[in-house]
């Protein structure tokens, strides 16, 4: 990828999205993501896809996402209402963000794929990159972890022969709640957290700053911490892993390695690196908006991008509907 992007007019290949400088202090930010469905409800799947796609743009400090180009692939045998519901899920989610579907492309494919490209714009003073984390910075996460084991449970619940094994680990009365909580998290946008950051920047006349930010998705908390750490040339220690209740037990049973923060996430929260002097200010503002926030680690020194889980890591079960 470094070779392919070598001559592209981008700020850097380590970023969550393509960041293109425009006239003056304006930047255009674009992100493309494509998914296979992970839930049975096509409307909810559309919302999950739209949330995940736009979260990469929000992770750059952007609030103004103007449009989405949608991509849909499906077998010719899939009923039309399924495809319509997926696109309506995307449309309704984007409408709440003030974003429109501007077009897209559909193809016939042996299996369903759903995705798109989101385009946003921001001024330079609000742009947050992956490269600015400094030694001593704290890491704040805005969603609990564990969507991968939760959605594996969703699949297992359709297979009675496997479900009995799960019931040996998780109480039967808790099963559906785990799935519902994960779905709620995956259709919750990260936009409000970025609004909080923007307000703090404006109110402080630029004194409040976020050094680096990303969203936690396919590489898990540890993997996305590594992305920030490598881009910023620091090392990181993970000290807390907040997770959906029972996700840790499910992960151990199914081999997803959530205990080492390696379990993949879908539409995960923002991972925010900032000076510890600003930590209380950010946490107070997030709390006032009802946005979850967890201190999950810190940059311990200049380095080469190494991430390790502390020997005294705190595993924190979260019971508030998966958030």
**Which residues are paired to 105 by β-bridges?**
71
Same domain? For 23 and 122 the reply is: yes
Q: Are residues 104 and 45 in the same domain?
A: yes
CATH of residue 86 = 3.30.1330.10
Query: Is residue 1 in some structural domain?
Result: no
Q: How far apart are CA 6 and CA 10, in angstroms?
A: 9
Please provide the size of the chain in residues: 323
The pLDDT assigned to 239 comes to: 99
Tokens, residue 89:
């899920």
- Does residue 179 lie in a domain region? yes
CATH number of the domain to which 147 belongs: 3.90.650.10
d(CA 299, CA 135): 5
What's the CA gap between 187 and 207, in Å, rounded? 32
Whether 41 and 169 map to the same domain: the answer is no
Residue 9 resides in a domain: no
Q: List residues bridging with 299 in a β-sheet.
A: 236
Q: Clarify whether residues 72 and 219 are in a common domain.
A: no
User: In this structure, are 174 and 90 located in the same domain?
Assistant: no
Task: Tell me whether residue 3 is in a domain.
Answer: no
Same-domain status, 190 and 276: yes
Q: What is the Cα–Cα distance from 251 to 241, expressed in whole angstroms?
A: 13
Find the domain containing 64 and state its range.
18-126
φ/ψ region of 246 (left if φ > 0, alpha if ψ in -120 to 50, else beta) reads: left
Residue 257 lies in a domain: yes
Sign of the four-CA dihedral 16, 186, 47, 77 = positive
Quote the pLDDT of residue 322.
43
Spatial contact of 295 and 286, defined as CB atoms under 8 Å apart: no
Same domain for 121 and 61, yes or no, is yes
Predicted pLDDT of residue 164? 79
Tokens read off for 16:
């969550």
pLDDT digit of tens for each residue in the chain (323 aa)?
455 555 555 555 567 799 999 999 999 999 999 999 999 999 999 999 999 999 999 999 999 999 999 999 999 999 999 999 999 999 999 999 999 999 999 999 999 999 999 999 999 999 999 999 999 999 999 999 999 999 999 998 888 877 878 888 888 899 999 999 999 999 999 999 999 999 999 999 889 999 999 999 999 999 999 999 999 999 999 999 999 999 999 999 999 999 999 999 999 999 999 999 999 999 999 999 999 999 999 999 998 999 999 999 999 999 864 45
Residue ending a domain, choose from 106, 126, 146 = 126
- Tell me phi and psi for residue 88, to 5 degrees: -70, -35
Indicate whether 22 and 111 sit together in one domain. yes
Per-residue pLDDT at 249: 95
Note whether 83 and 90 are within 8 A (CB): no
Domain-embedded: residue 110:
yes
Q: Say yes or no: 117 and 153 in one domain.
A: no
Does residue 131 form part of some domain? Answer: no
Could you say which of 82, 104, 126 is where a domain stops? 126
When divided into structural domains, the chain yields a total of 2
295 belongs to a structural domain: yes
Q: Are residues 44 and 166 in the same domain?
A: no
- Verify that 115 and 170 share a domain, yes or no: no
Question: Could you say which of 66, 93, 126 is where a domain stops?
Answer: 126
Q: pLDDT at position 5, please?
A: 53
Considering the domain architecture, whether residues 159 and 102 belong to the same structural domain is answered as no
């Amino acid at each position: 990828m470094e070779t392919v992007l070598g001559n592209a007019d981008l700020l850097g290949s380590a970023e969550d999205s393509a960041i293109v400088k425009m006239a003056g202090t304006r930047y255009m930010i674009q992100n493309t993501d494509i998914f296979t469905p992970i839930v049975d409800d096509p409307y909810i799947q559309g919302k999950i896809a739209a949330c995940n796609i736009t979260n990469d743009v929000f992770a750059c400090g952007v609030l103004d996402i103007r449009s989405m180009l949608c991509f849909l692939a499906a077998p010719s045998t899939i009923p039309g209402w399924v495809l319509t519901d997926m696109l309506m899920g995307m449309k309704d989610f984007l409408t709440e963000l003030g974003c429109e579907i501007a077009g897209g492309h559909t193809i016939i494919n042996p299996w369903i794929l759903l995705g798109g490209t989101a385009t946003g714009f921001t001024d330079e003073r609000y742009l947050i990159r992956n490269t600015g984390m400094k030694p001593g910075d704290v890491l704040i996460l805005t969603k609990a972890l564990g969507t991968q084991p939760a959605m594996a449970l969703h699949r297992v619940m359709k297979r009675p022969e496997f479900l009995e094994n799960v019931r040996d680990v998780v109480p039967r009365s808790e099963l559906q709640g785990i799935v519902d909580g994960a779905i709620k998290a995956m259709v919750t946008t990260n936009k409000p957290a970025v609004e909080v950051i923007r307000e703090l920047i404006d109110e402080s006349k630029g004194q409040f700053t976020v050094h680096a930010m990303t969203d936690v998705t396919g590489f898990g908390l540890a993997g996305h911490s590594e992305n920030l750490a490598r881009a910023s040339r620091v090392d990181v220690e993970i000290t807390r892993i907040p997770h959906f209740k029972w996700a840790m037990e499910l992960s151990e049973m199914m081999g997803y390695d959530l205990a080492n923060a390696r379990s993949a996430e879908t539409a995960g929260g923002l991972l925010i690196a900032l000076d510890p002097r600003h930590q209380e200010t950010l946490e107070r503002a997030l709390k006032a908006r009802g946005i979850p926030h967890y201190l999950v680690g810190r940059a311990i020194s200049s380095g080469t991008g190494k991430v390790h889980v502390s020997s005294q890591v705190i595993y924190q079960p979260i019971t508030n509907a998966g958030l």
